Each structure stands twice: as C-alpha cells, then as structure tokens.
Chains A and B, each alone.
Chain A
C-alpha cells in the first residue's frame, strides 16, 4: 500500500512531468491561456494516461516485444479518440478551445513514456496509481500556469473577472511569448524550492 502511495505521489512532485522531467510540453504552453483550459486538458490527458497504462499493463505478457510500440500507439490512440468524441459531444465549448491538442494527446510523451517505462513492467494496480500521479501532476502544473497567465493576461480567474473593466492587463501573458516566459519563471521557482528541500535534508 505504501508503495502504491509512493507511485502516486512521485508523479505529483518528485518526477512531475512538466517541471522536473520536462516532457509533454506542447499542450502546457498552448492551452494554458485560462486556468479552466489547463484543468480540462490535464484531466483529459489523465484519463488517457490511466486507461492506456492499465491496458498496457494488463496486456504486457501478451504483446510481443518487437511490436510493442505500434501496439501501445493503437491502445493510446483508441482512448484519445474516445476522449475526443466524448468531449465533442458533452463538452463542446472546452472541445472547441482545446481544439487540435486533444488528438495530440496521442503524441504526448508522458503517455507513451509511462507506458514504455512503467506500465509494461509493472502490475495493473501500480500502473494505475502511477498514471494517476503523473496525470494529476501534469494537471496541477497546467492549472497553475493557466491561472498565472489568466490573472495577469485577462484579469480573471476561472472566468471570474476581478479587475475592473478596462483595467490594464499584461496582454502578452495570454500570447505565446508570455507562455514561454511564465513557464521559465515557474520552473526557476520549482528549482529554488527543490534546492531548499535538499539543503534542509542534508
């Protein structure tokens, strides 16, 4: 049980896919114009991650090593298409905003990476916990980035305006340059916190 918890927490902080391992970065920059988009994207990816990790783990003894990458791709693409169709039907506004990046979950390095590095070698339950941890780690990273960009760029949070009409916002934050710079600064923050943690440990 403790091991499962460790698997889960790992993805949230130590091996946070965005801030520490730095994989799956394209959606991080593209959809984080608002916090809610970050959450939506993160949860969609988490769903794909958990389901495909689970299935890959279940089939790990059955899939021959030579064709494992195409097999993983088919599994992942299936869940991505399911998420795409469901969001188009039941969450059309979010689907419109996330647009191209929903099918692009299939090439999100986090999903294929965890399938290859973890799910193919571990039990079903461990893989699910790992997928959840990584997915939620990804989600909170996206949400924080989205929140910062939304507050600075549009003066709102979760679509609730808190700045007066016509107040000055840092518009560039909602645009591409702002995404890069915000991510860089956030990463620097994470590095500072990690360094302080290490100092306290030693």
Chain B
C-alpha cells in the first residue's frame, strides 16, 4: 500500500498515452482484495455444495427453524431499535435545533453524539450490565427505594427488550448526527409564512415540515436498521450465545460449524448482505430525493 504514491506517473501530462488511471490502482486493488473478493467468495459459496457444484440447498437451509428464528429476532431488534432510535433521536435533534434552548446545548449534544455513536461494542454491554443487570445500579435503586423488582416483571437485560434498550445508546446519537442537518435546513420563513396565513403548529408540521423532512428521517432510520442488523460485539458480550440472532449464530458457525454445513454459513452471510444492502439502497434513493429538492 505504501507504494501508492510512488506508482503515480511522474509527468502524465506530457505523455500521449493516458496513464492517469495508474494513480487509483492501489486503492482498487486494496478494495478488491480486502472487501469485494472476500465478499464475492461467500456469495458464490452460498450457491455451491461442498464439492463446488451448483446448488440451492444452502439457501433452503435458511428456512430451517433455528436459522429462520434468528433472522426473525434480528429483524425485530433492528426494527425496534431503529424505530425508537429514530423517533427519540429526532426529538433530541428537534429540541436542540428548534427548541430555543441555551446556545451551549446544541454543540454539547453533537459532540456527545459523536462519542456515544462510537461507544458501541463490548464496553457498552458492560455499561448496561452495570445499570440494568441483576446487580445494576438502577435495578438496585428501584428495588430499594421504590420496591419495584424489574426482574420479577420478566425483564432481563439479556432479552430482546434489554438488547434493544442497549442498542439505543448508539442508535439515538447516530440519528441525531444524521437528522440535525436536515432540521437546520428548515427555513424560518416557512414557519413565518405559515403563521401569517393562520396555520397552527400542527398544520405547519403536517403540511410543511414533515413533507420536507420525511425522506431524511426514513432514510436515516434505514441506516440505523442496517447498523443494528450487523452488530455483533455488543450482543455477544451482553448475552453470550443465549440470544439467537443472526450475527451471533454466524459468529458461532464461523468458530465451530454449529450448523453442520459449512456452506450454510455462506448463505447466512448472503442473507445479511441482502438485508443490509436493501436498507442502504433505500437510504440512497431517499437521499437523492432530498438532494433534488435542495433541502
């Protein structure tokens, strides 16, 4: 990779043959070797049996009960954490941008969001165990002072609800980071014009702000969805392998072929790429919509 600068042609302008493309070769070689080919390898493998013959057997394996179950739970967690994260993140961004709060709040929120959206993985799981685990501070405080035992209500930090609550810690800040620029794009004049014409706050949001904002909001939520769907570390550190979600099942499969069919792992990987790919494609379509409108 360090050869990238030396491989640039020295005086490309003086040569009749156009050698400009040489300058981007290192980048494309890297992308091929460490991103595109390994991914393509799995995608091809999903359609092959152990001897390399074409088969749809692996894809059919995705319909096995425990695999299908894993996809379903992953899907639910991703939907729940992206919907809740999207809503709460939007409210926070709205409060910071349009809430007429003291000036220091917005930059503080943005900086904190930058930190928290990157505070994922194993340490985040530890933080939530210390908060809502059986010995966690909030669990103990609720039990001691309010006589509420959240664990007797069926709550567990190791469950669907617990994991969703934990994912929100990086989902909400991510939403704040993505949606704040869109909120900043709302022009003051629109609100003033609406007020002059006798429109209510509700009407302003229903007929003016939301039609402008919804592609950004929906697009951002699709990104959050993909973000949650592929996450491994937080879930693994929090629940071990007790929660059957796709990334953890795939992790276990890679470590020790728990599905008893190596190529079924390829099919699972393919399924993940298709789902996160669709979410991202949706995001890009919606983004081009906002770009055209210039919002």
A in complex with B: no
